[in-house]
Amino acid sequence: MNIETKFLHAGYEPKNGEPRQLPIYQSTTWKYASSDDMGKLFDLEASGYFYTRLQNPTNDMVAAKLAALEGGVAAMLTSSGQAANFFALFNICETGSHIVASSAIYGGTYNLLGVTMKKMGIDVTFVDQDLPEEELAKAFRPNTRALFGETITNPTVTVLDIEKFARLAHSHGVPLIVDNTFATPANCRPIEFGADIVTHSTTKYMDGHAISVGGAIIDSGNFDWMAHADMYPGLTTPDESYHGLVYAEKFGKLGYITKATSQLMRDLGSIQSPQNAFYLNNGLESLHVRMNRHCENAKKVAEFLSKQDKVAWIHYPDLEGDKYNELSKKYLPNGSCGVMAFAVKGGRDKAIRFMDSLKLATIATHVADARTCLLHPASHTHRQLSDQQLLEAGIAPDLIRLSVGLENADDLIADLKQALEQI
């Protein structure tokens, strides 16, 4: 199947007389005839459902679609993108481990690594992802267990050189984890460029309509945990809470996702509700069509903004001459996404005046959905930070993040034009 077809058909193939649309298994529990049948499930001796905190058929069918879309061997859904990134890392890290991550990643993930995981004794080094390989290699330590980046960063919309990151990770014996939220598998499949594990906030384009929070992890099955057995004891030594089974041995390429499901989800409980998985699947059915339109609209809007005197600067990877245009052409040949970053001249006050003058584009703490929205991190998500702290986080104090939706591009441009006239 080509990817467009997979968006509609992968993961669930109804048999004769079964529902055409993905059924929602709105049940926490499953019934078994004998205690022996149930016991085998708890020992991971047989596969089957017993409690929705660990697995649910609706979620599994959507996860199977995501695995097919990203080119992975297995996937799981989580309650949010935050949970996805946490599980993806914590599945292979423990107290004393170290992670190397791009400093340009989403603020929520930056805090997850720099604040909360640090409290668990997991250290992080943030790096400038644009540095040459030799420079980046200096960030690795003997206890490094993963390299982390985003295909397109939020909110600075820089494009990651995935092959460079994959080489770096693999030459240090660790997997590359890529958050592919903004690109989506419609526009980029990081596994094809060497990423080992892909994560998503499905809350964004995948859901597409700003209705449900969710996340996902997809494993390529390519990373050989047994070849680095001493580094990943969680996968390569016995799990006493399952009578001593060894995930990477017993489940092979499925070991990573099996561990995340049967151990982390069991203990940390961050499952996506089957109802939300159903909404997610609805979003996925049109994702490839929507991404085309998001990119088409964003390009028109970015070209308009780039020609305005009152616009101080603009970053959109699909614009000719953008710093990331070459990387975008390589990794995102069909277009990047609908998000761009720009600034109006005159600083914070003018930025606020401009945004308050918009009539169609709305100010929202959201990004990547059907309706155009925008946010000024310095006044909103990051308002507790000084200009100096913003710059340290890589966010210009005048940066406006604009997420171009599916409206008619001329209407959006007319709205931006009249708001620019107000400043």
Ligand X SMILES: *Cc1c(COP(=O)(O)O)cnc(C)c1O
Summarize as ranges the residues that interact with ligand X (CB under 6 A). 80-82, 106, 108-109, 150, 154, 179, 181, 201, 203-204, 213, 215
**Shortest Å distance, C-beta 5 to ligand X:** 27
Q: Of 297, 253, 269, whose CA–CA distance to 78 is shortest?
A: 269
Q: Which helix (H) or strand (E) holds 41?
A: helix 35-42
For residue 156, the tally of other CB atoms under 10 A from its CB is: 22
Burial of 408 (0-12, 13-18, 19+ CB in 10 A): exposed
Comparing CB distances to ligand X, the nearer of 179 and 322 is 179
**Shortest Å distance, C-beta 368 to ligand X:** 7
Q: Of 79, 212, 14, 128, whose CA–CA distance to 392 is shortest?
A: 128
Query: How far apart (Å, rounded) are the C-alpha atoms in residues 364 and 236?
Result: 45
Comparing CB distances to ligand X, the nearer of 97 and 153 is 153
Comparing CB distances to ligand X, the nearer of 87 and 232 is 87
**Shortest Å distance, C-beta 404 to ligand X:** 15
Query: How far apart (Å, rounded) are the C-alpha atoms in residues 94 and 5?
Result: 40
Q: Sign of the CA dihedral 367, 86, 202, 4? A: positive
Comparing CB distances to ligand X, the nearer of 129 and 181 is 181
Residue type, 88: A
Comparing CB distances to ligand X, the nearer of 215 and 377 is 215
For residue 421, the tally of other CB atoms under 10 A from its CB is: 10
Query: How far apart (Å, rounded) are the C-alpha atoms in residues 423 and 421?
Result: 6
Instruction: Provide the 3-class DSSP secondary structure of residue 78.
Output: strand
Residues facing residue 78 across a β-bridge: 215
Residue whose beta carbon is closest to ligand X: 81
Which residues have a Cβ under 8 Å from the Cβ of 4 and sit 6 or more positions away? 288
Contact 167/137 with Cβ under 8 angstroms?
A: no
Comparing CB distances to ligand X, the nearer of 58 and 82 is 82
Q: Of 166, 202, 196, whose CA–CA distance to 184 is shortest?
A: 202
Distance separating the N- and C-terminal Cα atoms of the chain = 51
Q: Per residue in 101-134, is it b (16+ CB within 10 Å) or e — as a string?
A: bbbbbbbebbebbeeebeeeebbbbbbebbeeee
Comparing CB distances to ligand X, the nearer of 150 and 239 is 150
**Shortest Å distance, C-beta 4 to ligand X:** 24
Comparing CB distances to ligand X, the nearer of 213 and 374 is 213
**Shortest Å distance, C-beta 105 to ligand X:** 7
**Shortest Å distance, C-beta 70 to ligand X:** 15
Comparing CB distances to ligand X, the nearer of 60 and 207 is 207
Comparing CB distances to ligand X, the nearer of 179 and 415 is 179
**Shortest Å distance, C-beta 86 to ligand X:** 10
**Shortest Å distance, C-beta 363 to ligand X:** 17
**Shortest Å distance, C-beta 346 to ligand X:** 28
- Beta strands across the sheet bearing 74-78: 74-78, 215-219, 197-201, 176-179, 144-150, 98-102, 123-127
Comparing CB distances to ligand X, the nearer of 187 and 258 is 187
**Shortest Å distance, C-beta 216 to ligand X:** 10
Contact 172/140 with Cβ under 8 angstroms?
A: yes
**Shortest Å distance, C-beta 204 to ligand X:** 6
